[in-house]
Structure 1
Amino acid sequence: MAEEKENAPQEKKKQIDYDALSWGLNAPVNTEIKEFISVDDVRKKFGLPVTQGMDDDTRLGMDKNNVAFDTMFQSLTQHAIQEGQYPMSGFVGYAVLQQIAQNGMIRTCIQTVADDITREWIELTGGKNDSDDKLEKLDDVFNQKHIKSLINKAVAKTGYYGGCFIYIDTGTDDPSLPLVINSKSAEIKKDSKIDLVIIDPINVSPMEYNSINPLKKDYMKPRMWSVQGQPVHASRLITFTDNEPPMLLKPNYNFLGIPQAQILWDYVLHWNKSRTNAVNILDKLNLTVYKTSMSDVLAAENGIQLLDVKIKALQRYRNNNSVLVCDNEVESIENISQVISGATDIVRQALEFIAAINRTPAVKLLGISPSGFNSTGESDIRNYYDHVKAKQELYRDQIQTLINIYQLICFGEIDETISFKFKEIGGDDLANNVKIFKTQVDSLTALQNSGVIDNAEAREFVRTSEISGLDFLSEDVPEQPNPEDMQTMNPEQAQKQPEMKIDKNTEGLEAWQKKMLS
């Protein structure tokens, strides 16, 4: 009985020590980040700046009207919980997209495609009267107004946020009225001044749209937009959009498109997680295991502190020139080496998934040759340029609208025949063009020999070919001398005659090829 009483306080004290140790181990580590633990934290992070010169009540009122902090909080916390598993069935919100837009990989993907869409820019075509002068003047105006840079920024914003707007600022006091873009327009006429302003979609929301009758062409297309509370007619906004969402989800995406950044984000997070884990493997490349009696350590007074001292001593003197001393009976040291083969392949493959989703070759996006692809990557680059051409066509109507606007400003009327074409991206493949043209010449010669076409038709083909480099030829076919008459001529007379048609196997074609390749 006496022994039980004597042991009781010790057991109680031992239990208290375990509780204290358990509490210490459950304490949060220093690296834990809790930025958004409440809606107030989100409001502080994304609220309007206090430097705008307004009082707190006004600023908080604007916050409540302009930003849905509850939705932002839910999106941010959900994003943190998923830890890379980012299954989204709807719009994540512009606040989250603006955070995503700061990611280096996202910016590389979006900006690479946007830059290639506008890199070679456009060539104005068409025109009825004085077309050359009109096209030259329009081209100068586009350069002065930096339209190329404007379109580049709009395409990039479309990639980040799913769409954006260019506001046609004519100086009107009532932008809710429709804007007419023709020769009868009262706002856009010769020598009038306008400004083109890019509007971020976070400041725009739909006001009026047809959601009832799908038989109308304006079904689910807003007729009026609210730009920071001010009604603006849709005709005054040039809308850019990409990745059109399903019909039921269009209102969720602000009647724009699915952001390319949101599509890429899941793959970027997986790559970033694999990259981080691969780097962390280096910290575990050689794991030193210190074996001791943990029950004795936890039960002893100041046992944890003593263990910390031993481990710190081990870390301090741990190198190939140090000597480690430990208790041979109750302590031992073991070294475990980690195998890291294959880790880089996993990271590289995750990186290639990003390039695949963005439809951009890894050699173009990252400057590396993807594993399993051919060594040149020429076909991949060509497929990518085809993808860029398809993207360019998405913005044809927007660019044509700008051409019509500046026609009204420069000439007072719109020439419907004036249009444009996108210049060839990636530059002309000279060697490939030479091969193609040589094949065409062979085909033309065969058609001439069989009597299908004559010299005039063959000449017209090579003169108008974009890759021949013979556009300087006149339309008139020079007269060819009779071969029988050539035999009776003396050398001086033969030299005065025009040269005969170059055969495909003569030295003339080979000389032309060498000239083109040089």
Structure 2
Amino acid sequence: MKLFDFFRRKPTAVLSPPEEKKPPKLKINPVALSMAKAKKLKYIHPFKQYQPPAGVIPADIRSAVLAMDATPYGSQDFAGMTTGQSGFPGYPYLAQLTQRPEFRKMVDVFSKEMTRKWITLTSIGEDDKSEQIAIIEKALKTYEVREIFKQAMDLEGFFGRGQIYIEVRTPKGIAASTDPVELQTKLFRSDKKITKGSLVAFRCVEPMWTYPGVYNASDPLAADYYKPQSWYVMGKEVHDSRFLMFVSRPLPDVLKAAYNFGGLSLSQLAEPYVDNWLRTRDSVGDMVHSYSTSGVATNMQSTLAGGSGDDLRDRAELFELYRDNRGVMFLDKNTEEFFQYNTPLSGLDTLQAQSQEHMCSVSSIPLVKFTGITPNGLNASSDGEIRVFYDDIHAQQEAVYRKNLKQVIDIIQLSELGEIDPDISFKFEPLMELSDEQKANIRKTEAETDDILVNNVGSLSPDESRERLANDPDSPYHSLELNNNDDLKDEEETEDDDSEDFSASAA
């Protein structure tokens, strides 16, 4: 049996299929990942407590003042809010943006338009207030209120907050800025606090040099909730009533402390749009500069085999020397071939124009105001856009300027007149200016209306029409002399008396 077992066929071994090699697990370097995230999240500024420069808050109380900011920056709920463009970038970063012409143009257009036509002082009642109004108008020019308000709006556009310090003399006759005790007291709008001749000047203070002092962060029902009662200005504590505040884009309460109690600056708001415009402009410029690529297919065997490549460089130099539309290009018939690739440039102007218009959209400035470029096309006009823009500017004047200008005029009245006249007010002049032709048509229409009312209807006398022309500042007859009704009445009474005396003597 063993002999037969030897000749038996041995069973073949069953081979298992080869195991598939699994690809190595992908591993990403955390450093490279963090660098990529930092590049992608360029506009995301982390939320953190604002730290003013050294010297703004006195060193001995700096930690106590900063501790008033109880915003939970590190909490999970607050961290979940930091998506998109958020967080205060800081005043040094915003100051760097002021060097770009796009940001400067945006802010400059707003501040100029808000102070271009300025205000007109008015009065109510029958009393003549022309003398008081003339004194106030002269003081407004003396203290350069118009220029100071423009500067405050520049700071508001660049940094999110503009502040004007009111400098007055104390009862001792010295400037309040030199008296630390006086600076901490409230500046009442009263003749007891602001005496006649006590106003010194109005001064703009950049927000980088100020930091809020005490403020109420516990009672939302209080009038002073999240409104600082005082400000630290380079080591001095100044009461809030001695500042005029300019904030046109206020933030929610939860973000006010992080933004140093300012608003959202126009520079930070428009930064993504400006960067997109700069990137598009540079890309279009690079494409126009290198829209045509020319080359020569030649033998590079020696260079690729490790040669010095001198022959190849000489060939390229020869190609560059002859590269001209009026020149002649020499090629080897058997070993060389010339090629050229041209990139189509159609549509680049549209892409660049749209990127530029996006900057205007976020700033609400018409393209013709921002760039000086007029609309294209037959009968194209920007009058509608400019009118809407002027309506927006007027709304900004009422929202940002009205309250501050009222305080300025009250302070000037106390300093110049000794009291505040409640009948004296002001109005903003209209920004839209009519052309000479439009003014002439309006005067023609008014003249025809007066002719109908005087000659046909009889509801208006010639003297009343003459008085309307004399009182119209836009009329060419503004200095027209009026007939004094009292003088005419006196002349009529004198004539009557003379006639009576003549009749008595005749009798």
Distance 2:265 2:292 in 1: 43
Question: In structure 1, which of residues 198, 208, 215 is the aligned counterpart of residue 204 of structure 2?
Answer: 198
- Paired position in structure 2 for 1:167: 165
Q: Which SS does the other structure have where 1:302 is aligned? A: coil
Deviates more, 1:426-435 or 1:117-126: 426-435
* 3-state SS, counterpart of residue 213 of structure 2: strand
1:97-112 pair list within 5 angstroms: 97-112=94-109
Partner of 2:187: 179
CA distance in 2 between counterparts of 1:296 and 1:243 reads 68
Cα 1:268/1:184, change in 2 over 3 Å: same
Residue 392 (structure 1) aligned with residue 397 (structure 2): yes
Residue 113 of structure 1: aligned partner: 110
The alpha carbon displacement at 1:333 in A equals 2.0
Hey, what's the Cα distance between the residues in 1 that align with 2:139 and 2:429?
18
User: How many angstroms apart in 2 are the aligned matches of 1:159 and 1:391?
Assistant: 13
Contact 1:165 1:238 in 2 (8 A): yes
Deviations 1:462-512 (A, max 9, x none): 789898889878899xxxxxxxxxxxxxxxxxxxxxxxxxxxxxxxxxxxx
For residue 352 of structure 2, what is the aligned residue in structure 1?
347
Aligned to 2:337: 332
Call closer, same or farther: CA 1:372–1:232 in 2, change over 3 Å: farther
Q: How far is the alpha carbon of 1:230 from its aligned partner?
A: 2.4
Question: How much has 1:224 moved relative to structure 2?
Answer: 1.6
Whole-angstrom distance in 1 between the partners of 2:289 and 2:253: 50
* Distance change in 2, residues 1:347/1:475 (3 Å): farther
Structure-2 change in CA distance of 1:263 and 1:296 (3 Å)? farther
Q: Which runs of 5+ in 2 are unaligned?
A: 1-52, 64-82, 169-174, 486-507
Distance 1:429 1:96, change over 3 A: same
Q: Report the AA paired with residue 182 of structure 1.
A: S
Aligned to 2:26: none
Matched-pair contact (CA < 8 Å) for 2:120–2:429: yes
State the match for 1:268 in structure 2. Answer: 274
Distance apart, 1:238 and its partner CA: 1.0
Which of these residues, 404, 409, 412, is aligned with residue 410 of structure 2?
A: 404
Partner of 2:364: 359
Contact 1:158 1:259 (8 Å CA) reproduced = yes
- 1:221 aligned residue: 227
Is the 1:115–1:152 Cα contact (8 Å) retained in structure 2? Answer: yes
Q: 1:422 to 1:130 in 2, by over 3 A?
A: same
Q: Could you say what secondary structure the match of 1:125 adopts?
A: strand
Q: Deviation at 1:177?
A: 2.2
Quote how far apart the aligned CAs of 1:349 are.
1.9
Confirm whether residue 150 of structure 1 aligns to residue 148 of structure 2: yes
- For 1:500, the equivalent position in structure 2 comes to none
Structure with bigger gyration radius: 2
How many matched pairs? 399
Q: How does 1:286-325 map to 2 (within 5 A)?
A: 286-292=292-298, 297-303=303-309, 306-325=311-330
Deviations 1:100-156 (A, max 9, x none): 111112211211121111111111122776621111011111112211111111111
Tell me the CA shift for residue 235 of structure 1: 0.9
Shift of 1:428: 4.0
- The equivalent residue for 2:16 is none
Tell me by how many angstroms 1:356 deviates: 2.5
Structure 1 residue 292: Cα displacement: 4.5
By how many angstroms is 1:431 displaced? 4.7
Quick one: which amino acid aligns to residue 197 of structure 2? D
State how far apart, in whole Å, the 1-side matches of 2:437 and 2:324 are: 59
Q: What SS class does the counterpart of residue 340 from structure 1 fall into?
A: coil
1:437–1:467: 8 Å Cα contact kept in structure 2? no
* Residue identity in the other structure for 2:237: P
Structure 1 unaligned regions, length at least 5? 1-47, 49-56, 67-85, 477-518
- 1:56-75 to structure 2, matched below 5 A, reads none
Task: Please give the secondary structure, in 2, of the residue aligned with 1:194.
Answer: strand
What is the CA–CA distance in structure 2 between the aligned matches of 1:333 and 1:299, rounded to whole Å? 23
Conserved? CA contact 2:161–2:245, under 8 Å: yes
CA distance in 1, matches of 2:140, 2:378: 41
Distance 1:337 1:168, change over 3 A: same
Summarize the alignment of residues 131-150 of structure 1 with structure 2, pairs less than 5 Å apart. 131-150=129-148
Deviations 1:143-189 (A, max 9, x none): 1221111111111111111111111223221222222221221xx21
TM-score (norm 2): 0.68
Task: Give the RMSD, CA atoms, in angstroms.
Answer: 3.9
Out of 402, 419, 427, the position equivalent to 2:433 is 427
Structure 2 match to 1:505: none
Change (3 A) 1:404 1:295: farther
Cα shift at 1:323: 3.9
What CA distance in whole angstroms lies between the structure 2 residues aligned with 1:294 and 1:444?
94
User: Secondary structure, in 3 states, of the residue corresponding to 1:333?
Assistant: strand
Determine helix, strand or coil for the equivalent of 1:334.
strand
* Counterpart residue type for residue 380 of structure 1: E
Among 238, 257, 263, which residue is 2:263 paired with? Answer: 257
Letter of the aligned partner of 1:257 in structure 2? G
Q: What residue in structure 1 maps to residue 420 of structure 2?
A: 414
Matched residues, percent identical?
A: 28
CA distance in 1 between counterparts of 2:440 and 2:382 reads: 21
**Could you tell me how far apart the structure 2 residues matched to 1:240 and 1:475 are?**
48
Instruction: Tell me the CA shift for residue 314 of structure 1.
Output: 2.1
Structure 1 residues 338 and 468 mapped into 2: Cα distance closer, same or farther (>3 Å)? same
Letter of the structure 1 residue corresponding to residue 145 of structure 2:
I
The 1:440–1:127 alpha-carbon spacing in structure 2 relative to 1, beyond 3 Å, is closer
The CA distance in 2 between the partners of 1:190 and 1:413, in whole Å, is 9
- Which amino acid is the alignment partner of residue 391 of structure 1? Q
Q: Return the alpha-carbon distance in structure 2 between the equivalents of residues 442 and 215 of structure 1.
A: 59
Q: CA, structure 1 residues 441+195, in 2 after alignment: closer, same or farther (shift >3 Å)?
A: closer
